[in-house]
Amino acid sequence: MADLSALSQKLIANGWKRVKDVEPVLLGMGGTIEYVSFLMDKEEFISDHELGRRALRLQVSSSQRDAEWLVTHQEMLVECPEDVRYIFFPGTEWEHPNDAHLWIYLYRTGKEEKWDIYAFWMDFGFSDEHVRLVRLPQVTSP
């Protein structure tokens, strides 16, 4: 388990299994992060399953490893709009034996505006208020 993140180790120790994990984007070589709204037209709320489908369609299905990289490189998030408090990463999904599912997200906390990583139950659905997905810069290796 040495190569697993602390969050992954904690989830596995509590019976969770990673059931989906897209390849992370190669970060750290420039580019701009795009903060993507996921509601369409006059929608006010969508289900977690619809958010997952929409993330794929919008090409913003980033992974837990992307979130973990961003937590350690918070300077990449300085351009995030002030009203955004949550950034979801639906490219990684965890499942518990009781059939519960989790997604990974970053949450902006405190006066210092620090981002921390958490896991979120998928059964609630999403409004657009304070929540975004991210389109990470696609960088090719030299």
Question: Residue 24 has what pLDDT?
Answer: 84
pLDDT confidence bin for 142, thresholds 50/70/90: very low
Q: How far is CA 56 from CA 11, 61, 122, 134, in A?
A: 24, 6, 16, 12
Q: For the chain, what percent of residues have pLDDT higher than 90? A: 32
Question: Residue 47 has what pLDDT?
Answer: 84
Reported as a single tens digit per residue, the pLDDT across 6-63 is: 999 999 999 999 999 998 876 655 678 889 988 888 888 888 888 888 888 888 888 9
pLDDT confidence bin for 2, thresholds 50/70/90: very low
Q: Looking at the predicted structure, is the pLDDT value of residue 77 above 80?
A: yes
Question: Residue 1 has what pLDDT?
Answer: 39
> How far apart (Å, rounded) are the C-alpha atoms in residues 62 and 66?
6
65 sits in which H/E element? helix 64-72
The single-letter code of the amino acid at 105 is Y
Phi, psi of 65 (to 5 degrees): -65, -35
The single-letter code of the amino acid at 38 is F
Question: Residue 10 has what pLDDT?
Answer: 93
Tokens of 100: 């519960």
**Minimal CA–CA distance to 60: which of 94, 25, 85?**
25
Mean pLDDT lowest among 1-5, 84-88, 119-123:
1-5
